[in-house]
Amino acid sequence: MAKIVGAVTTSHIPAIGGAIARDLCEDPYWKPLFSAYPPAHRWLGTQRPDVAVIFYNDHGLNFFLDKMPTFAVGAAPQYRNADEGWGIPTLPPVGGDQRFSWHLIEQLVGEEFDVTTCQEMLIDHACTIPLALLWPGRDAWPVRIVPICINTVQHPLPSAARCFKLGQAVGRAIRDYAEDLRVVVIGTGGLSHQLDGQRAGFINKDFDLEFMQKLPGDPLWATHYSIPELVELTGTQGIELLMWLAARATLDGEVKTIHSSYHIPISNTAAGLMVMEGGNP
Ligand code: DHB
Ligand code: FE
């Protein structure tokens, strides 16, 4: 049977891609960010996942305002990246696992999550930056992926409680898969940031730290906030924390924190990283 080895949640700030391309990991501005990742590399090296299920939010590369699914699941043989205009190099395609994707889709629809199915899907920086951060310096990606996109662009957004339930259903579906796959679940985005408008540059360190502290043992804490309340607390793009909730929700039993880091700011954003393991893999 498939096994969830754990969950990794990380920010996906596009400027990180530029810093990697320009080899700035040791630069004083960037070092505090990049030095947070080696414990995650060691953990992934021990866990050796075959597949990464990635909760992420597209920013207009694959879905635009004319057609915006609330939840979309990739079922492609391969996922290509493309230029989004951030000036970061395009990364090589990542292989998919179609059989596993369709199993997840079948089970999610069976549980009344009526997801959009994507047999072609471009992945944006919200997928590629975490891959580059977690598996640096690779010519070929060591994992296949199943991207799961949650709308954070066009309101109405799904509630935190709904995203948590989606994560729980994905966790059940992974554990029900008959193949002996080792699966890491990744949630990308956040933490607090607002890129435009009157509150551009808004960061809420107190809320972020409380969110990270509560996420392993009391994840429902954050689900009691409405979407407008979360936007107020974390900024218009800080709402990307929904990905962290969905990823955490796939874990069962007593969840422990293997590694955690928080650094402000990178670009306009609070950069967070957590590695968690569930009690019943
Ligand atoms: C920034 C952060 C993001 O999460 C994003 O998707 C785009 C930009 C930023 O801080 O610049
Ligand atoms: Fe983003």
268 C-beta closer than 6 A to ligand 1: yes
Q: Residue 103 catalytic?
A: no
Q: Which pLDDT value is given to residue 280?
A: 72
Tell the residue nearest (CA) to atom 1 of ligand 1: 13
Coil, helix or strand at residue 94: strand
13 C-beta closer than 6 A to ligand 1: yes
Residue in 125, 224, 259, 263 annotated catalytic? 125
Per-residue DSSP letter, 238:
G
**What is d(CA 49, CA 244) in angstroms, rounded to the nearest whole number?**
19
CB 80 within 8 A of CB 98: no
Q: Which one, of 212, 160, 190, lies nearest residue 12 by Cα?
A: 190
Q: Which ligand is nearest to the CA of 272?
A: 1
**What is d(CA 47, CA 281) in angstroms, rounded to the nearest whole number?**
12
For residue 276, report the distance from its CA to the centre of ligand 2, in Å: 22
**What is d(CA 176, CA 174) in angstroms, rounded to the nearest whole number?**
5
**What is d(CA 167, CA 158) in angstroms, rounded to the nearest whole number?**
12
Q: Residue 125 catalytic?
A: yes
For residue 231, report the distance from its CA to the centre of ligand 1, in Å: 15
Tell the residue nearest (CA) to atom 2 of ligand 1: 13
**What is d(CA 36, CA 50) in angstroms, rounded to the nearest whole number?**
23
Averaged pLDDT in 10-residue chunks for the chain of 281 residues: 98 96 96 98 98 98 97 98 92 97 98 98 98 91 98 98 98 98 98 97 98 98 98 98 98 97 97 94 64
CB 227 within 8 A of CB 160: yes
CB 19 within 8 A of CB 132: no
**What is d(CA 230, CA 235) in angstroms, rounded to the nearest whole number?**
8
CB 94 within 8 A of CB 141: yes
Q: What separation in angstroms does the CA of 123 have from each of 1, 36, 40, 131?
A: 28, 24, 22, 11
Index of the ligand 1 atom closest to the CA of residue 57: 6
130 C-beta closer than 6 A to ligand 1: no
12 C-beta closer than 6 A to ligand 1: yes
59 C-beta closer than 6 A to ligand 1: yes
195 C-beta closer than 6 A to ligand 1: yes
For residue 34, report the distance from its CA to the centre of ligand 2, in Å: 18
Which residue type is seen at 51?
A: V
**What is d(CA 53, CA 236) in angstroms, rounded to the nearest whole number?**
25
Q: Which ligand is nearest to the CA of 56?
A: 2
Orientation angle between helical segments 98-110 and 160-175, nearest 10 degrees: 120
- Tokens encoding 197: 């408008």
Residue in 59, 193, 259, 263 annotated catalytic? 193
Which residue type is seen at 177?
A: Y
Tell the residue nearest (CA) to atom 6 of ligand 1: 13
Per-residue DSSP letter, 115:
P
Q: Which pLDDT value is given to residue 279?
A: 87
DSSP notation for 151-193: --SSSSPPPHHHHHHHHHHHHHHHHT--S--EEEEEEE--SS-
Q: Which pLDDT value is given to residue 281?
A: 64
